[in-house]
């Protein structure tokens, strides 16, 4: 039996759920591995002394750096886990206030100290290569996918939805919001219901239905209950967003929705016109045309929805045990 210790970068975020909680839970059951997930301020030396592998997520604290140096000398193995490019946060992003130069330097040192790094995409892996030569790509995996064989596509009311936190405020430009408003006002058959889950732009209050976010472990269940037909994934066209993953596309597909997304790198790599739709840019006309086409062409929407659901199914964690375990074993030696 191997002892794997996960030290999360935060509590209650999608990042900690997908990157730490899900692998720990499912590997524990499959491989009889002792997996413990904690915050960095909950760690205990007694438990850590028995760890074969410690996975640290988004850590920058000097105490973590000292701990890694000390335990490496005793033979303990470490992997660094990261899924966003903190070094590329735009200056006007709220998270940039936390990720100061000092913290980024501290995280860089920890990345360098670890025996390897796990990240979400080849693009992120390429960026991290200059800090650590052993970079492994493990996409975000999910734990459930909705069965959509009985989904209805010829409906009186079609639901267009978005799910995410208020960190995406800048992604909702005036042009994209106006396209949503006009589509809702101009199309009467089917009626258009707009739903926002987690965050809603102020201009959409009174026009759309708003639901508060759910805990990550309940997120897909709650998202499925909202019955999205079309899930939108607007993103600012920026270098930072190009380093993101395709998780929103996977989530929408998992609950039976077809995605319309901005043309950023992670979506360009997976959305092919048969399993979803990419807009050509973030202009009003591009978004309105894409929305209009999906709403009015139910057969095309049905095909895309089914293919997106199949893609999400390919990302179920239980299909990737060996892939993750192989990386852990390689690092542990």
Tell me what percent of the residues of the chain surpass a pLDDT of 90: 78
Q: So what's the pLDDT on residue 47?
A: 61
Specify whether the CB–CB gap between 200 and 210 falls below 8 A: yes
Question: Cα(90)–Cα(107) distance, rounded to whole angstroms?
Answer: 18
Q: So what's the pLDDT on residue 174?
A: 97
Query: Does residue 207 have a pLDDT over 60?
Result: yes
Q: Which of 160, 240, 274 is nearest to 207 (CA)?
A: 160
Average pLDDT over residues 204-230: 96
Structure tokens at 109: 């040192």
Please state the domain extents for the chain.
3-141+317-332, 157-313
Q: So what's the pLDDT on residue 290?
A: 96
Burial 92-106 (b: 16+ CB within 10 A, else e): ebeeeeebeeeeeeb
Query: Does residue 31 have a pLDDT over 60?
Result: no
Q: So what's the pLDDT on residue 39?
A: 52
Domains 3-141+317-332 and 157-313 belong to one CATH topology:
yes
4 burial level (CB within 10 Å; 0-12, 13-18, 19+): buried
State whether CATH 3.40.630.10 applies to domain 3-141+317-332.
Answer: no
Give domain 157-313's CATH number out of 3.40.50.720, 3.40.50.300, 3.40.50.2000, 3.30.70.20.
3.40.50.2000
pLDDT digits (tens, 9 = 90+) for 138-188: 999 999 999 999 999 999 999 999 999 988 899 999 999 999 999 999 999
pLDDT higher at 83 or 92: 83
Q: What rounded mean pLDDT belongs to the chain?
A: 92
Q: So what's the pLDDT on residue 40?
A: 53
Structure tokens at 275: 């399993």
Q: So what's the pLDDT on residue 8?
A: 85
Q: How many residues does the chain have?
A: 333
Average pLDDT over residues 4-8: 87
Continuous H helices in the chain: 14-16, 22-31, 45-49, 62-73, 101-113, 122-128, 174-186, 216-225, 239-242, 247-254, 265-268, 284-296, 298-313, 321-332
Average pLDDT over residues 294-301: 94
Tell me what percent of the residues of the chain surpass a pLDDT of 70: 94
Q: So what's the pLDDT on residue 193?
A: 98
Average pLDDT over residues 213-223: 94
Q: So what's the pLDDT on residue 51?
A: 84
pLDDT digits (tens, 9 = 90+) for 52-75: 899 999 999 898 899 999 999 999
Q: So what's the pLDDT on residue 219?
A: 95
* Chain position carrying tokens 């199914």: 313
Query: Does residue 93 have a pLDDT over 80?
Result: no
Specify whether the CB–CB gap between 257 and 232 falls below 8 A: no
pLDDT digits (tens, 9 = 90+) for 223-236: 999 999 999 999 99
DSSP for 241-273, please give it.
Answer: HHTS-SHHHHHHHHTT-EEEE---HHHHTT--S
Specify whether the CB–CB gap between 192 and 160 falls below 8 A: yes
Q: So what's the pLDDT on residue 242?
A: 96
Question: Cα(178)–Cα(184) distance, rounded to whole angstroms?
Answer: 10
Question: Cα(76)–Cα(322) distance, rounded to whole angstroms?
Answer: 22
Q: Which of 178, 217, 216 is nearest to 198 (CA)?
A: 216
């Amino acid at each position: 039996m191997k002892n794997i210790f996960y030290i999360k970068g935060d509590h209650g975020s999608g990042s900690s759920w997908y990157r730490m909680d899900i692998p720990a839970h499912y590997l524990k059951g499959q491989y009889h591995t002792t997996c413990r997930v904690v915050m960095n301020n909950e760690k205990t030396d007694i438990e850590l002394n028995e760890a074969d592998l410690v996975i640290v997520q988004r850590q920058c604290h000097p105490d973590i750096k000292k701990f890694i140096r000390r335990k490496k000398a005793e033979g303990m193995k470490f992997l660094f886990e990261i899924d966003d490019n903190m070094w590329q946060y735009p200056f006007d992003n709220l998270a940039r206030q936390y990720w100061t130069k000092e913290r980024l330097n501290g995280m860089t040192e920890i990345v360098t100290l670890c025996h390897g790094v796990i990240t979400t995409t080849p693009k992120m892996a390429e960026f991290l290569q200059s800090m650590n030569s052993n970079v492994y790509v493990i996409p975000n995996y999910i734990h459930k996918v909705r069965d959509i064989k009985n989904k209805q596509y010829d409906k009186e009311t079609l639901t267009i939805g978005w799910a995410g936190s208020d960190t995406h405020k800048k992604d909702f430009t005036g042009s994209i919001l106006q396209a949503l408003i006009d589509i809702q006002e101009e199309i009467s058959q089917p009626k258009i219901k707009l739903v926002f889950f987690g965050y809603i732009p102020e201009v959409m209050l009174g026009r759309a239905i708003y639901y508060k976010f759910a805990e990550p472990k309940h997120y897909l269940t709650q998202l499925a209950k909202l019955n999205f037909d079309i899930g939108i994934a607007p993103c600012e066209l920026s270098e930072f967003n190009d380093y993101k993953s395709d998780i929103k596309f996977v989530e929408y597909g998992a609950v039976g929705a077809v995605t319309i997304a901005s043309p950023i790198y992670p979506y360009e790599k997976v959305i092919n016109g048969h399993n979803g739709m990419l807009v050509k840019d973030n202009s009003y006309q591009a978004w309105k045309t894409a929305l209009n086409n999906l709403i009015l062409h139910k057969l095309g929407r049905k095909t895309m929805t089914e293919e997106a659901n199949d893609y999400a199914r390919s990302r179920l964690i239980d299909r990737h045990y060996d892939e993750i375990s192989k990386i852990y074993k390689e690092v542990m030696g």
